[in-house]
Amino acid sequence: MKRKILSALLCVAMTATMLAGCGDKADDSKNSDSDTQQEADNNAGDDKQEAADDAGDSEGGGNKLTVWCWDPAFNINAMEKAGEVYQKEHPDFTVDVVETPWDDIQKKLTTAATSGALDTLPDIILMQDNAFQKNVISYPEAFVDLTDSGIDFSQFGEAKTAYSVIDGKNYGVPFDNGAVIAAYRTDVLEEAGFKIDDFTDITWDEYLEKGKTVLEKTGKPLLSCQAGESDVIMMMLQSCGSSLFDDDGNPAMVDNAALKKVMETYNALKEAGVLVEVNDWDQYISTMTTETVAGTINGCWIMASIKTANDQSGKWAITNMPKLVDVENATNFSNNGGSSWAITSNCQNVDLAKDFLASTFAGSVELYENIIESGAIATYLPAGDSDVYGKADEFFGGDAVSAKIVEYAGKCPSNNTGVYYYEARNAVAIAMQNVVQGANVDDELKAAQETVEFNME
């Protein structure tokens, strides 16, 4: 009932902040959706014509599917490769991929749903995982239920699948992997007397103490992140299966033992100099490529940025992240970012769309082998057993990192995002910065929860 009320409210007052998930950090990781209802009405006609021109006419079904997604080298390439795989058994099939930035997809979806112009949507869209629940809860009429589609969702990491599950029903087919890795400069660790195994299956308390040693002996912090961002906080929190909301979608920051421990841990890392904050994304990447820090903890997609420093090949290794101390259900695994495919209610051949996704992204190891060179690592668990995924990556010390990451994805706890996930993330990020400056953790969590409750009202 709570979710139905929230959905009705959102359809009247379209003021939501949208933050793009990982893998799209080059766009500053932030997208906003502040369209009003009036804007939606005014834009509906234009969007309908644009959809007819850009997305192609799928009226009548046939063997053609139209897809909206972004990033030619990554997502678009993967969808085109999926089309090629499907064509082997269905030679008359075609897929029309329309390059559409994520913020445009969100805007067009919002406009279509709030103005009753769902016929402007394509057959399939790619959606950021952290926005999936928000959109399906807000606009359930825009999406096709895939629960009984024949797709075996147990073949994906549980946490990945959970992003697109609403009220026990599946609405998305998982795609790219956002499993968290801890990446370290092995030469720097060696200088401090450590090996990568010394940072495997450890706690954050151990990480802190070893980080102090690395800093003392090499002058390099172990970790960097953007000031005012909540990525590190959310990775820590999800690693124990905890969330900023309860199961009914209510803010649950006050008396949240896991969240308090996360903030205390972050503050301890910052005070010790083991974690260093920077101002923006470019500076964050630079801390790794210019050898300012000895490591990073982020979604596995961060490896692509690390590998731009060609002169550092063979000097990096990955392992799992530290786990929280004295927190129930704590693990060494988490997730940050990723996206999933959804079939829209405007799809003219739903059976074709279901079979296409079931046969490719939810059923083809060959597809994932074909797209791994672009950095698209599967959450489809069978792909992790393939010879291609078992191939050594010389940049990361000859380790079979792709297979390792799929394994991590299968161990990651799920978390609850819901409608106000981004507002809650932002409120916690502000609270964390205040704590770093000396504020009381409990007071800041109370203020953060009140901020989110105000937004929900």
Q: 166 — phi, psi (to 5°)?
A: -130, 125
180-334+420-456: same fold as 2-178+336-402? yes
Token pair listed for 380: 């489809």
Q: How far apart are CA 332 and CA 241, in angstroms?
A: 11
So what's the pLDDT on residue 61? Answer: 54
Spell out the domain ranges in the chain. Answer: 2-178+336-402, 180-334+420-456
Kindly report, residue by residue over 6-24, the tens digit of the pLDDT: 443 343 333 333 333 344 4
Say what angle helices 421-436 and 257-272 make with each other, to 10 degrees.
40
CA 15 from centre of chain: 22
**Confidence check: pLDDT of 212 > 60:** yes
**Confidence check: pLDDT of 131 > 60:** yes
Kindly report, residue by residue over 325-384, the tens digit of the pLDDT: 999 999 999 999 899 999 999 999 999 999 999 999 999 999 999 999 888 898 999 999
Place domain 2-178+336-402 in its CATH homologous superfamily: Periplasmic binding protein-like II (3.40.190.10)
So what's the pLDDT on residue 457? Answer: 86
Torsion of CA 257, 263, 265, 269, to 10 degrees: 180
CATH code linked to domain 180-334+420-456: 3.40.190.10
**Confidence check: pLDDT of 175 > 80:** yes
Q: For residue 158, what are the CA distances in angstroms to 34, 76, 414?
A: 32, 25, 7
Is-above-0.75 flag for pTM?
A: yes
* Mean pLDDT, residues 50-74: 69
